[in-house]
Structure 1
């Protein structure tokens, strides 16, 4: 039965935090899902993906899990490092330092709008697109769920959800320090210290991260690297209070400050996304800003249920300055639009978020388990967009009113609330029915500060989910589920029509299996999704340099996920995974010629293979090595499918010597130096006469040292 296993979960959770998951995250195409559950030759890994502690083998969802040991072993320090380890999920850098595009089973993230992933850190939703790309340090666990998760994670979880748990304060003094050096004079360091203020009553944890980087991508015209990081530092503090046996108070504060290169898209005059060009603009782009986060969580055990209240506050500022025509006086004398001369662009973004969640969770050790809750969110967002005539190649020209030919200023306010619930019932020892339901409502208002005028709209949706799961035998689970997701609509820049809410209905059938006698885990799923008002993004430079979100009326997406992990012998593991995403535009009234095409930013399939080795070499030391190979299939950049990126093959390597308290490693990413674009915008969807591509990082390599005390 499920509920007796649940009684063991607190002990299992402590065990899982201590035992290393040595090999997950090694093969980028997706084996991490299975490696995380087999590194200790046991399926008894505890997750909180469904807002309660459960054994991973009991959860009827395709989940990829990374615990703290695995994060360190895989060298994960950024969102990209772990997202690209998940099948049917891709992550691409773009435009500004915080900007990124994640695509989950064909559903894409878009600029200045909500993510298709519900992102939660320590129970607090990350409600801005700018919060997905982040530095990862002192992390306890990362859980990536695929498929609509709106019932528990709310609006925007149309493609899935990511649950990130930072390390808790400890009752014993402990600490760690890591330093990493790489080509381009890149330097990163991070560390933490933790211990008791009052033993068993008040515990603290402090963690910090710092990065600087001279870059590796050169601007041919300026002769300077454009991907520099002047500084990027994070500070995080956490205080855990236990004033009574049944009450815990968890307080967390974090601050991030950054200044780095941005807007270094290359002009691709041939229009072929496979022709790699280096940036050649005459303005050196720059992004700068900061993020402040404050959270408080109170948990009280009431007997019949546990009451949890989580309050979160976030303040985000991000400003960028850079080239608007992405060219220079030599290769494009006409400048912006071919006749306005050299031009620059700038945006100043400010976002304040305040959220409150309250929920009741029944005990785990019952055949009938339930969760009830409510959520409220306030979002205040201000955005100023400017275009300026470039006379001297400096960014400060944006502050001269006489040089401005675009000056848009808007505020967007959002008040959202929801109620949700989930129930799990063990019909028999092996058969469980799970049902969940959530109602979300978003009320949005936009004010045109420059010209005056207001727009208001309300978006709402009811999101059900039903799952049937059956244990064929111990460690072998079959399930089928139906779920719906909802991504809110909203407003484009003043004067441009709004975009509608996106809804996704997904049917999925899958299995999780672990064959103890041969150390093999085999997991997989097939899925079908129908999307109404699929959201996608493009730029219309001719219409006031507008970044436009629009809708495709109807889209169908289907595919498979399959992953295998086998412990061949002590310290030797082999991995492999395959994911496919087949999307088709079924109806598109705005562009009827695109019917039958694939959706933007879709990668047809990903595959990987990998090997991980751990060998004792004496004196308490181990040699550790890992190599992973990732294949990404053809990528379709826009709805016309005219611009297709050829398949990519990427290789990462890592090797070192470690003991219980220290380690020294050599590492390399993209060691074959594949040159490609992580974002590509064809001229038909930029409103200009050029195609632009955002260049990916070339080969990176370096050394790393780690110390624990």
Structure 2
């Protein structure tokens, strides 16, 4: 019998996961016998606007510590969302565009996000700010279920808290270099420490990235997902000039140039049949984001006063094909008019925000939070379609070739007041009540015909939670919560879309078992959404439209776990299930009983990680990740359904035992699954055919990181 050849990658995995040497085995056995086996680290989160242990917070939270961020290779928003059950993230159409779905609540074009995103305590108020590169990260928290009472109108599906590494007295830094397939080259570095011991601190970090791409346009022969550059710079200054006073100043800058509009013409309602892009215009996105914030906290005798001020200036422009074809495949031209066509958009957003918050001390039977919030947004959007004669991007500015010219200025003023009370009814039993009032005032001016329109949207968002700590290791909770996503304007000449409201009932349990070597958390929920928002393109007017589905029910559960059976070996993962069902839809009555748009009912994550000494002063770590994504239902008619996916990832790391340096070989989507990250059938795309936006296939990287 011929011996089967073992793949070198499999040999590498086996070498790390294989039974350790005799000395290490004796050490592990001894630890188990004397009860000193490793325990799961304690993670502290700010889910309820104050520092608390993860296991004490009556909210379904998927948290990633700094240790996990490093071990799991989390370097982008996509990475940690891939590891989070009941959540998905897809990047399509432009480099900065993204679609997040959390417990069935979806993000759509040109609307507020369904997930509040907060970085270092500062809200990120635009949809384009969710997609980000993550480096020098302290902690990530994903809060599931509506969090409107504390986080406001963009938290209808949940919230994401990201904490970067704060400066301190200790002077430290890092430098990392990464190379991968597709010509990936990435470098990052950072340095922090004290300017004046115990009084003034700094931290500055930066990253640059270049990528030749992996998705080939078979008509032009160029890669559509190439990144010419993606540069980020972030700086923090922390001052503690007096006892109880802290001033945290933060500035960041992002500049990128990358691909856009890489959709392919797909087979009718068949997302399982993959076709490469064949546009004659290679799309391009350029953009910059500037963020400045000041967070000031002062400890009063009875509470802590916190002021958070933020300013953001965001620009994103794209140019690309509008029919996603070429003169050879479609000699009749765009919609049979005899010519090819292109499209483009210039987006400019300026935002100013201010929050004032009072937070009581953590001790005592009664604890409270109260605050006010303001957000002012100016959003200018220029959208054009043009006759394409030479495949160049400059045709966007040639008015002689103009087909569609939409130019609008939008102003939005949002104001809110919020508060929360926690009262200990008895030892281990707490009743919490929270309430928020949000009001949005929106104004739009058509800069072509100078017409104006305005509207306002307001909502009370209550939350009530009963928490019972049965013993130090087991906590249970019951929650009723609400969320709100504002209504707004479609492009000039199209009707407004209505605000979306969501009510949620939830039961949860958090447990720490086996002497804190097993953490198992679970929650079941049932939500009802009124005027569920979704997006499509109107075929008759070629307008991008946000519309509403009258009523949607969302029912499901979340399970998360971490388990350390022995020193150096860890299992982690979870299961998330959401059944999204359309219950009323006047616009499309035939869709009643269907799955909600962009929902994938079931998601399973499993990670296995093993660390062991491999030589004096050296450690090896192998981590294997598995992700199962259920079928995805793209539209209310449920005609286009993507098949389920099984995705595999592997990380092999060699590092100094004192963590002075590390070398990591990593691979994602090892099975090289090809699938559409976004799919729009002809009924909803505004075109006489379906289009799909391809996700990248297999990727692998080699990373060296040094710490000093």
Shared topology, TM-score over 0.5? Answer: yes
Q: Does 1:596 align with 2:581?
A: no
CA distance in 2, matches of 1:612, 1:261: 35
Instruction: Pick which of 266-275 and 281-290 moved more.
Output: 266-275
CA displacement at 1:576 relative to structure 2: 4.1
TM-score, reference length from structure 2:
0.93
Q: Is the 8 A contact 1:261 1:287 kept in 2?
A: yes
Q: Which residue of 2 aligns with 1:121?
A: 119
The unaligned stretches of length 5 or more in structure 2 are 1-36
Q: Which residue of 2 aligns with 1:369?
A: 367
Q: Which residue of 2 aligns with 1:668?
A: 667
CA distance in 2, matches of 1:472, 1:703: 47
Q: Which residue of 1 aligns with 2:217?
A: 219
Of 248, 253, 256, 1:255 maps to 253
Q: Is the 8 A contact 2:43 2:65 kept in 1?
A: no
Q: Which residue of 2 aligns with 1:522?
A: 520
Of 577, 580, 583, 2:580 maps to 583
SS of structure 1 residue aligned to 2:78: helix
CA distance in 1, matches of 2:336, 2:498: 34
CA distance in 1, matches of 2:548, 2:78: 27
Query: Within 5 A, what are the aligned runs for 1:318-329?
Result: 318-329=316-327
Q: Which residue of 2 aligns with 1:614?
A: 611
Q: Which residue of 2 aligns with 1:700?
A: 699
CA displacement at 1:518 relative to structure 2: 7.5
Q: Does 1:679 align with 2:678?
A: yes
Q: Which residue of 2 aligns with 1:7?
A: none
Q: Is the 8 A contact 1:559 1:582 kept in 2?
A: yes
Q: Is the 8 A contact 1:504 1:531 kept in 2?
A: yes
Q: Is the 8 A contact 1:41 1:516 kept in 2?
A: no
Q: Is the 8 A contact 1:625 1:656 kept in 2?
A: yes
Q: Which residue of 2 aligns with 1:19?
A: none
1:475–1:111 distance in 2 versus 1, CA, 3 Å: same
Q: Which residue of 1 aligns with 2:635?
A: 638
1:564–1:198 distance in 2 versus 1, CA, 3 Å: closer
Query: Within 5 A, what are the aligned runs for 1:504-519?
Result: 504-517=502-515, 519=517
Of 651, 656, 680, 2:653 maps to 656
Of 453, 461, 476, 1:463 maps to 461
SS of structure 2 residue aligned to 1:184: helix
Q: Which residue of 2 aligns with 1:99?
A: 97
Q: Which residue of 2 aligns with 1:131?
A: 129
CA distance in 2, matches of 1:575, 1:340: 57
Q: Is the 8 A contact 1:207 1:236 kept in 2?
A: yes
CA distance in 1, matches of 2:415, 2:560: 38
Q: Which residue of 1 aligns with 2:12?
A: none
CA distance in 1, matches of 2:503, 2:516: 38
CA distance in 1, matches of 2:543, 2:513: 54
Q: Does 1:314 align with 2:286?
A: no
Q: Which residue of 2 aligns with 1:354?
A: 352
Q: Which residue of 1 aligns with 2:31?
A: none
Query: Within 5 A, what are the aligned runs for 1:241-640?
Result: 241-517=239-515, 519-543=517-541, 545-640=542-637
CA displacement at 1:352 relative to structure 2: 0.2
CA displacement at 1:621 relative to structure 2: 1.0
SS of structure 1 residue aligned to 2:672: coil
CA displacement at 1:340 relative to structure 2: 4.7
Q: Is the 8 A contact 1:271 1:690 kept in 2?
A: no
SS of structure 1 residue aligned to 2:466: strand
CA displacement at 1:260 relative to structure 2: 0.3
CA distance in 1, matches of 2:607, 2:315: 40
1:231–1:404 distance in 2 versus 1, CA, 3 Å: same
Q: Is the 8 A contact 2:84 2:605 kept in 1?
A: no
What is the RMSD of the two structures over their aligned residues, measured on CA atoms?
Answer: 1.2
CA displacement at 1:663 relative to structure 2: 0.3
Q: Which residue of 1 aligns with 2:107?
A: 109
CA displacement at 1:653 relative to structure 2: 0.6
CA offsets per residue over residues 565-614 of structure 1, 9 Å max, x none?
32121111223421111011111111111111111000010113221100
CA distance in 2, matches of 1:609, 1:294: 38
CA distance in 1, matches of 2:573, 2:102: 19
Of 174, 196, 199, 1:198 maps to 196
Q: Which residue of 2 aligns with 1:30?
A: none
CA displacement at 1:519 relative to structure 2: 2.1
CA distance in 1, matches of 2:575, 2:629: 10
CA offsets per residue over residues 78-136 of structure 1, 9 Å max, x none?
10001121110001111000001000100000111111001111111111000000111
Q: Is the 8 A contact 1:43 1:56 kept in 2?
A: no
Q: Does 1:238 align with 2:241?
A: no
SS of structure 1 residue aligned to 2:405: strand
CA offsets per residue over residues 328-348 of structure 1, 9 Å max, x none?
111112222232521000000
Q: Is the 8 A contact 1:571 1:613 kept in 2?
A: yes
CA distance in 2, matches of 1:441, 1:488: 9
SS of structure 2 residue aligned to 1:224: coil
CA displacement at 1:43 relative to structure 2: 6.4
Q: Which runs of 4+ in 1 moved over 6 A?
A: none
Count of residues in correspondence between the two structures: 670
Q: Which residue of 2 aligns with 1:150?
A: 148
Q: Does 1:51 align with 2:70?
A: no
CA offsets per residue over residues 225-257 of structure 1, 9 Å max, x none?
110000010111110011111111111111100
TM-score, reference length from structure 1:
0.93
CA displacement at 1:541 relative to structure 2: 4.9
1:390–1:541 distance in 2 versus 1, CA, 3 Å: farther
CA offsets per residue over residues 170-211 of structure 1, 9 Å max, x none?
212110011111001101111210011111111111010111
Q: Does 1:160 align with 2:158?
A: yes
SS of structure 1 residue aligned to 2:378: strand
CA distance in 2, matches of 1:563, 1:216: 33
CA distance in 1, matches of 2:370, 2:268: 56
Q: Is the 8 A contact 2:410 2:445 kept in 1?
A: yes
Q: Is the 8 A contact 1:43 1:514 kept in 2?
A: no
CA distance in 2, matches of 1:466, 1:382: 39
1:433–1:42 distance in 2 versus 1, CA, 3 Å: farther
CA distance in 2, matches of 1:417, 1:693: 39
CA distance in 2, matches of 1:335, 1:124: 48
CA distance in 2, matches of 1:143, 1:610: 18
CA distance in 1, matches of 2:699, 2:458: 45
Q: Which residue of 1 aligns with 2:29?
A: none
CA distance in 2, matches of 1:335, 1:666: 47
CA distance in 1, matches of 2:281, 2:362: 58
Query: Within 5 A, what are the aligned runs for 1:29-40?
Result: none
CA offsets per residue over residues 445-499 of structure 1, 9 Å max, x none?
0000011211100000000000111112212111110000000111110011111
CA distance in 1, matches of 2:314, 2:540: 29
1:517–1:201 distance in 2 versus 1, CA, 3 Å: closer
CA distance in 2, matches of 1:40, 1:699: 34
